[in-house]
Structure 1
Amino acid sequence: MIPEIGQFALALALAVALVQSVLPLMGTARNNVIWMRSATATSVLLTVLVAIAFGALMWSFVVSDFTVVNVASNSHSLKPMLFKVAATWGSHEGSLLLWVLILVIFGLGVSLLAQNIPLKLKARTLAVQAWISAGFLSFMLFTSNPFDRVFPAPLDGQDLNPLLQDVGLAMHPPFLYLGYVGFSIVFSFAVAALIEGRVDPAWARWVRPWTLAAWVFLTLGIVLGSWWAYYELGWGGWWFWDPVENVSFMPWLAGTALFHSAIVTEKRDSFKSWTILLAVLTFSLSLLGTFVVRSGLLTSVHAFSVDPERGIYILALLAIAIGGSLTLFAVRAPQMEGGGLFAPISREAGLLINNLLLATATATVLFGTLYPLLLEAVTGEKISVGPPYYNVSFVPIMLVLVLVMGIGPLLSWKRADLRGVLDRLKWVAGLSLLAALAVWYLDTGGPALAVLSIGLAAWLLGAVLTEWAGRIRLGEVPLAESMRRARNLPRAHYGMVVAHAGLAVCMIGFVGSSAWKSEVVVFAEPGTELEIAGFDVRFEGVEDLRGPNYLSRMGTLTVTRNGSYVTTLRPERRAYPVAGSSTTESAIRTTLAGDLYASIQEPASEDEQGRWTLRILYEPLVVWIWIGSGLLALGGVLSLSDRRLRVGAPRKRTRPAPAPVVAE
């Protein structure tokens, strides 16, 4: 009965989405206030219906209702409750339902929170959001129904892919979708503005918080996925330029450019066309990611579907959304030119360079992702585009971007004194050079690009601190006055400082774990000893353990350094009998200096010695990636908490002073 309720709720949701996609637009055309305001009521109803459907599917997983095909294919009665719940979005159908739930929640957020947005713009925005919702609801109902039944029901389920039975990956899809789908509301704002034919600083002010919120969620989603790959897959890598990784990274790059472009539109009434175009392209890249992982183009642990018919449906949605919005942009864009003029040396110019570099970087990743797929579709030839391509094409673009990021925040609006800015940064440049030379001295065999990257990371970090110190006039006025100025700085400024510093910290982790990583792979038996990065590692043997729904073979490694005990590592190899597959559970000792990483594979042979394949890595500075990523997200949250960015926030009202009492 519960699945039927969910099915009925989805059907009603589609009907409500169709009404919301038409009635508010008709209201704006006829200036009918009631029809325009109906978008708020339908947003609430739509969210309630989709939430009921999602709750019905989750309940089916919690109670192990194996009459539902989705539950029977992706769950098992012995699976821990956390992963039963996470299995709700662990399949193609369930993840699509989560996507739609987040989609309607963002629409609800605009309808309830954005009280100071003009009624017509709000009505058009919610109508466009309903178009997207209707498209995905119809896709789900016609091709990917999460509530399909199976009779007779199997006695037990086939279990979720063991690689997905992990806390990190259980959290990864919700955050990723909050980012992907969060950009949908920005897309809806952009299309609504194109329909209206007007973009102004007020519009940019309404868009910025939603853009920033989506960017923060997408940052966290990507980081969680990278962290999961690092500790779960057993090869010690956190990024492989896999096509499915890339399709989440491209909206992040475009969204970063979008947020900075919206700042210029708000502050200087410029970059209107840029901001609209980036809003369209950012969500279009999110839709492209949906197509890639659900169309059958890829076979991957990340990919949900291998059904080409579903891919054709998504491709049609993609063509309508992207083609329609870009056509509308081509018609309306000439009307949006204008705004404040600026000199070639100014903050506007710096942000323009920022946008161009991010757009170029996005195009580079897009080409590297789609070219092998297109080549295979046309010629049947299979090729792979991996790290060598991106190291040559993508990395240099980002290094130039980091160089510009150090200068941009110190430039003033409209016209800036470049010589004065560079004079303020001369000490930063000197310290960055010293940092690069120190790295070169410590490891003269290190790649030149790695040394340059460390120097630029130091440059960015020093430039950020210099800009902040200049704001509070540190060293120019008494310390108490500087602290007062620091307290009065807006949170958005602190968000910028923390986020830019976070990127610098990330760069240190990227370079250290890639350029100076050590690795040893051996066939080991009890008593085998090896040395790596100054650590002595002894393989003690393997013991058998039993988990809730898996069998584990856990190795024990004793680690010493200069004869002193350091730690004990216990990597595992888990076998899942129901799913018929196994996973690697790495053991990691983490310090700020680097990670000592161990994984174990099945015995190399069935001989009496019981030898195992043992992989030991030392990854310098890799933890700085997670620290820096956390700072990036924290910077976004700080900016989002700035009262000036909270659309619809109540304003403080000052009471009129009481009339003076006149003595008689």
Structure 2
Amino acid sequence: MIVEIGHYALVLALALALAGGTLPFWGALRGDVRLMSVASTTAVAQFLFVALSFAVLTYAYVVSDFSVQNVVENSHTLKPLLYKISGVWGNHEGSMLLWVLILVLFGALVAMFSENLPLKLKALVLSVQSWISAAFLLFILIASNPFLRLDPAPLEGRDLNPLLQDVGLAIHPPLLYLGYVGCSISFAFAIAALIDGRIDAAWARWVRPWTLTAWCFLTLGIAMGSYWAYYELGWGGWWFWDPVENASFMPWLAATALLHSAIVMEKREALKIWTILLAILTFSLSLLGTFLVRSGVLTSVHAFATDPTRGIFILCILCVFIGGAFSLFATRAGSLSQGGLFAPISREGALVLNNLLLTAACATVLVGTLYPLALEALTGEKISVGAPFFDMTFGPMMVPLLVAVPFGPFLAWKRGDIVAAGQRLLFAFGAAMAVVVIGLALMGTPSALALFGVALAVWLMVGALSEIGFRTKLGRVSLAESWRRGAGLPRSAWGTMVAHFGIGVTVLGIIASTAWNTETIVTLKPGETVTIGSRVLTMDGFVPLSGGTYTGTGVRFTVRQGGNVVATMEPEKRLYTVQNMPTTEAAIKTFGFSQLYVSLGDVSADGATVVRVYWKTLVALIWLGALVMTAGGVLSLSDRRLRVGAPKPARRSVPVPAE
């Protein structure tokens, strides 16, 4: 009976979504306050019912209720509790329920924390959000019901995909979905603005915190997914330009452009049409990613489903919302004013350059991702577009963008002085050049390209610090005065600096780990050694493994440097007995920001083992930079201007006549 409650809760949530999409919209068109007020109530109620449904499915996993088909296919009684819970979304049906849960969560948050929004705009935003919820709730109930029963119920489940039995499954999908689905709020604001005809600085200020929130989660989700693949798959790479990886990266690029475009719109009421278009594009790319993962058009370790019927259903949803949004945009864009004018050399101009390069890079990733699919659909020919294509196209677009990033904050609004900005960045330029000169002296010309990348990272980091140094007059006034000025800066200014610094940290990690990565593949027997750099690894012997639904063998290595033991490492080869699937568990040891990475290959009958050993220079900076970028976003969100949105106009006080 409990399982049926979860199913009925979805049906009720669908009814509420239909009501929340229809009544407030009609009320907004007619100016009916009572109908518009329904939006908040239905949004919160949708969340409560979907949350109940999700809780019921989680309960079925925790108690191993094998009368539920979804539990049978993705769980086992011997799984640890963490993997039972994360297994809820480790499959197509459960992950779609999580997707919708986050969707209605954002709608409920808008309903509860957007008191400053005009009632009509709020009603339209929640109405659009409800229609999206209704579409995906209908999809779940018709094509992806997680509550289907089995009779008779089997005694045991088939276990979860072994690659997903990791703490990464508990963290990566929820974070990624919070970013993916969070973009729906910006989309809803854009559609509401086009319907209402009100697009101004206040609108941009209302949109920014929701976009920034989604961007923060998306940044964390992509970074976590990258690290999960890095340590779980055993191949030592952190990004493969997999089509599904690209599907999450494209909304991130578009959301980054949207954030910067909204700043221009808020400050100068310029780029109105472009900002609305970016808001539509960002969520459209999120829907495209959902389609790619679940349609069966891709074969990927990330793909959840291969059922073409589900793919067609999602394609219809995608066409309705994306097609409808662009049709509305084409109809209403001509009536929107362009806003303030500005010179090419200005802060607005720098942000426009940022937008152009980000959207061009996003288009490049989109073409590289979809071209093989389109070619196969039209001609039957199969091709693979991999890292070489993206390295030759995406990389060169990022270089001018990263060079321009430190200039933006030093340029004035409307008309800037590029020479003065350059003078303020002389220290950053000197630091970058020092890296090149010293690096060439130590490493020679073969490392020139890598050294240029490192110099670019230093340019970004020192440039970000220079901005704060300039704004606090560091070195030109007393430290106490600089401290006072720094404390008086808006948190959004600090957030921008921290986020830009984080980009430099990530770039440094990418360049260093790519250019100075060392790899050794050897076959070892117990007692034998392998040397990588200054470290010597000795294979001590085998360690039997048994846990939950797997058995296997670990190999213990002792790591020495300069004759001293600095670490022990135990990579593993596991066999998950229920699915008869082997996996490789890499052993990773961090030294500073660099990592020693050991992965096992096949083990022969005589005990000889293929061992793959990597030295990853500064690789941890890739993910540390993502954390720093997110910290910058959170710091900006804590700025009161972004938390409260556009303030309501103060009510004019009316004096009470004396009696």
TM-score by length of 2: 0.97
Counterpart secondary structure, 2:644: coil
8 A contact 1:60–1:71 mirrored in 2 = yes
Deviations 1:41-95 (A, max 9, x none): 1111111111111111111101100111100000000000001000111110000
Q: Which residue of 2 aligns with 1:618?
A: 615
Partner residue in 2 for 1:51: 51
- Tell me, in whole angstroms, the C-alpha distance in 1 between the residues paired with 2:421 and 2:646: 36
1:147-296 aligned at under 5 Å gives the runs 147-296=147-296
For the Cα contact (< 8 Å) 1:183–1:283, is it kept in 2?
A: yes
1:351 aligns with 2:351: yes
Deviation at 1:264, TM superposition (A): 0.6
Q: Deviations over 1:351-373 (max 9, x none)?
A: 00000000001001111111111
Rounded Cα–Cα distance in structure 2 between residues aligned with 1:585 and 1:184 = 37
After superposition, residues 164-563 of structure 1 pair within 5 angstroms as: 164-444=164-444, 446-563=446-563
Alignment check: 8 A CA contact 1:240 1:387 kept: yes
User: CA 1:441–1:368 in structure 2 vs 1: closer, same or farther (change >3 Å)?
Assistant: farther
CA contact (8 A) 2:90 2:169 kept: no
CA spacing shift, 1:17–1:652, aligned 2, 3 Å: closer
Q: Matches of 2:551 and 2:526 in 1, distance apart?
A: 21
Q: Structure 2 CA distance, aligned partners of 1:433 and 1:588?
A: 34
Q: Distance in 2 between matches of 1:546 and 1:581?
A: 15
CA offset at residue 528 of structure 1?
2.2
Cα separation, 2, equivalents of 1:118 and 1:392 = 47
- One-letter amino acid of the counterpart of residue 291, structure 1: F
Change in CA separation of 1:520 and 1:21 when aligned onto 2, cut-off 3 Å: same
Q: Percent identity?
A: 56
User: Counterparts of 1:446 and 1:495 in 2: how far apart (Å)?
Assistant: 37
Unmatched tracts of structure 1, length 5 or more: 657-664
2:454/2:511 contact within 8 Å kept = yes
Distance, in Å, in 2 between the alignment partners of 1:11 and 1:138 is: 9
Q: Tell me how far 1:341 sits from its aligned partner.
A: 1.2
- The answer to whether the 8 Å contact 2:375/2:382 transfers is yes
Retained in 2: the 8 A contact 1:502–1:631? Answer: yes
Assess, with a 3 A threshold, how the Cα gap between structure 1 residues 652 and 617 changes in structure 2: closer, same or farther: farther
| Paired residues of 1:293 and 1:303 also in contact (CA < 8 A) | yes
1:426 CA drift (Å): 2.2
Is 2:61 the counterpart of 1:61?
Answer: yes
Distance 2:22 2:136 in 1: 17
What's the CA shift string for 1:537-580, capped at 9, x where partnerless? 11122121211221131101111123222211111112110122
Measure, in 2, the Cα distance between the counterparts of 1:646 and 1:627. 26
Q: Secondary structure at the match of 1:646?
A: helix
Q: Which residue of 2 aligns with 1:131?
A: 131
Alignment of 1:602 with 2:602, yes or no, is yes
Q: Deviation at 1:446?
A: 4.3
Flag the 1:593–1:51 CA change in 2: closer, same or farther, 3 A.
Answer: closer
Instruction: For residues 196-243 of structure 1, give each alpha carbon's deviation from its aligned partner in whole angstroms, at most 9, with x where no partner exists.
Output: 122000000000000000000001111110111111111111111111
Post-superposition shift, 1:430?
A: 2.0
CA distance in 2, matches of 1:4, 1:156: 21
Pick from 634, 640, 649 the counterpart of residue 631 of structure 2: 634
Instruction: State the 1:271 CA deviation.
Output: 0.8
Contact 1:446 1:516 survives alignment (8 Å): no
Q: Which amino acid aligns with 1:578?
A: V
Query: For residues 34 and 353 of structure 2, what CA distance do their matches in structure 1 show?
Result: 45
Q: CA deviation at 1:648?
A: 5.9
Return the offset for 1:649.
Answer: 9.5
Equivalent-residue separation in structure 2 for 1:425 and 1:649 (angstroms):
34
Counterpart in the other structure of 1:585: 585
3-state SS of 2:527 partner:
coil
Deviations 1:417-468 (A, max 9, x none): 1111112222321221111232333333645432221111111112111111
CA contact (8 A) 2:116 2:648 kept: no
Aligned to 1:28: 28
Once residues 483 and 648 of structure 2 are traced to their aligned partners in structure 1, the CA distance between those partners, rounded to angstroms, is: 27
Letter in 1 for 2:344: P
CA distance in structure 1 between the aligned counterparts of 2:426 and 2:474, rounded to whole angstroms? 17
Please give the alpha-carbon distance, in whole angstroms, between the structure 1 residues aligned to 2:53 and 2:395.
Answer: 44
How far is the alpha carbon of 1:110 from its aligned partner? Answer: 0.7
CA distance in structure 2 between the aligned counterparts of 1:652 and 1:12, rounded to whole angstroms: 38
Aligned length: 652
Cα distance in 1 for partners of 2:278, 2:181 equals 15
Alpha-carbon deviation of 1:592?
A: 2.4
The answer as to whether partners of 2:102 and 2:177 remain within 8 angstroms in 1 is yes
Task: Say whether 1:646 aligns with 2:638.
Answer: no
SS of equivalent residue, structure 1 residue 117: coil
Q: What one-letter code is carried by the residue in structure 2 that aligns with 1:399?
A: V
Q: Is the 8 A contact 1:74 1:157 kept in 2?
A: yes
Instruction: State the alpha-carbon separation in 2 of the partners of residues 383 and 460 from structure 1.
Output: 37
Mapped to 1, the partners of 2:162 and 2:78 lie a distance apart of: 13
**1:310-369: CA deviations, max 9, x gaps?**
101111111111111011111111222321111111000000000000000100111111
- The answer to whether the 8 A contact 2:273-2:338 is kept is no
Residue number in structure 2 paired with 1:659: none
Deviation at 1:523, TM superposition (A): 1.8
| Match in the other structure for 1:660 | none
Q: Distance in 1 between matches of 2:443 and 2:527?
A: 33
1:261-306 residue CA offsets vs partner (Å, 9 max, x unmatched) = 0011111001111110000000000000000000001222211100
**Is 1:102 matched with 2:93?**
no
> Which amino acid in the other structure matches residue 406 of structure 1?
P
Q: What amino acid is the match of 1:466?
A: S
CA contact (8 A) 2:87 2:160 kept: yes
Output the amino acid matched with 1:434.
A
Deviations 1:576-630 (A, max 9, x none): 1012212221111102251111011231x3x3x1221111000000011121111
Aligned residue for 2:252, secondary structure, equals helix
1: CA distance, partners of 2:49 / 2:593? 50
- Cα distance in 1 for partners of 2:352, 2:126 equals 30
Distance between the aligned counterparts of 1:111 and 1:6, measured in 2? 24
For 2:294 and 2:23, locate their aligned partners in 1 and report how far apart those are by CA, in whole Å: 32
CA distance in 2, matches of 1:431, 1:220: 30
- Report deviation, 1:139: 0.6
Residues 591 and 623 of structure 1 are in contact (CA less than 8 Å); yes or no, is this contact kept in structure 2? no
Question: For 1:359 and 1:147, how far apart are their aligned partners in 2?
Answer: 41
What residue in structure 1 maps to residue 115 of structure 2?
115
Aligned mates of 1:73, 1:650 — CA distance in 2: 51
Contact 2:424 2:470 (8 Å CA) reproduced: no
Distance 1:408 1:41 in 2: 43
CA distance in 2, matches of 1:169, 1:508: 28
Worse-superposed segment, 527-536 or 81-90 = 527-536
Q: Distance in 1 between matches of 2:645 and 2:104?
A: 19
The answer to whether the 8 Å contact 2:529/2:538 transfers is yes
**2:301 partner letter:** V
For residue 526 of structure 1, report the CA deviation from its aligned partner. 1.1
SS at match of 1:520: strand
Change (3 A) 1:337 1:651: closer
Alignment check: 8 A CA contact 2:268 2:340 kept: yes
